[in-house]
Copies of this chain bind each other. A is one copy, B any other.
């Protein structure tokens, strides 16, 4: 074809706003530049931030992202992906961190690539799983060690039911820290009574309810480690309710370091997770295909000390 002709064709394409139909291409070749992004809830700022990063990266490479809120429900997740599989979607970035992903086994057998965001790989995982994670256990340990260093002896962990891997690991990390301290520090774990009342959308409410209960006890903890920043914000709100000052009366540490963490009062001490790095890495993985990809990558965590933690109050010593 003559260069001139090509140019004319391209100009007409532009004028008509023509773009090749992804649908047809998809149907024919099965390829499909669509990524399913499943997160517990985008209403949770951590996942909102992650989704934003994933979408940005995806757009750069002309990928589309389908948003799915799983509410961490394996069944719902499975139904979602069954449909998406039928629609030709072959790549999913999965943020639900469930203990097992066997509910997607058959799809993975057939070729579904799953990139687990924020979930450490498990020995029993299907080989099609690529895991992008942080060392949750170590992160939690860093948080609790920080509290221990400040002299706290009665530390509470507030968490939704420990039914995800990352939560279990963070709990382990807490235990590691107090065990290694050699002190007689005490760890109390608070989980909501009835499961299902709090989803990721309501993480702050959960933190609030947890702290409410914990701080009302006769021997109340002097420090709280909340499973994530959103939850920590709720815990601070509860402290305020009962007239306790953070950090003077109770210290609070979070996890994630969402942008909000620096803006709230008091600015949150937290363990930073490099959300953007993980998100862009995830998208790069789907682009490059599974063959050249590592099956697992771990990202660094950093303790960010801000103003929500302080020495244990003398009155409680």
Contact = CB atoms under 8 A, between A and B. Distances in A.
Range of interface residues on chain A?
35 or more
A282 interface: no
Interface stretch (A82-90, A141-149, A161-169, A292-300): A82-90
Nearest to A18: B86
B49 A43 contact: yes
- Residue from A52, A237, A262 with most neighbouring chain B CB atoms (10 Å): A52
Contacts of A37: 67
A83 to B, nearest CB: 5
Contacts of A8: none
B21 A87 contact: yes
Contacts of A85: 17, 19
A69 interface: yes
Contacts of A32: 23
A233 B260 contact: yes
A259 interface: yes
Given A22-B87, A237-B263, A48 B43 contact: yes
A263 B208 contact: yes
A75 interface: no
Given A48-B51, A51-B51, A233-B263, 15 more contacts: A17-B106, A18-B86, A19-B86, A41-B52, A42-B42, A42-B51, A43-B53, A43-B259, A45-B48, A59-B69, A62-B83, A66-B67, A208-B263, A237-B262, A264-B265
Question: 3 nearest interchain CB pairs?
Answer: A48-B48, A19-B86, A43-B52
10 contacts: A19-B85, A19-B86, A22-B83, A41-B52, A43-B45, A45-B260, A55-B67, A55-B68, A233-B260, A265-B265
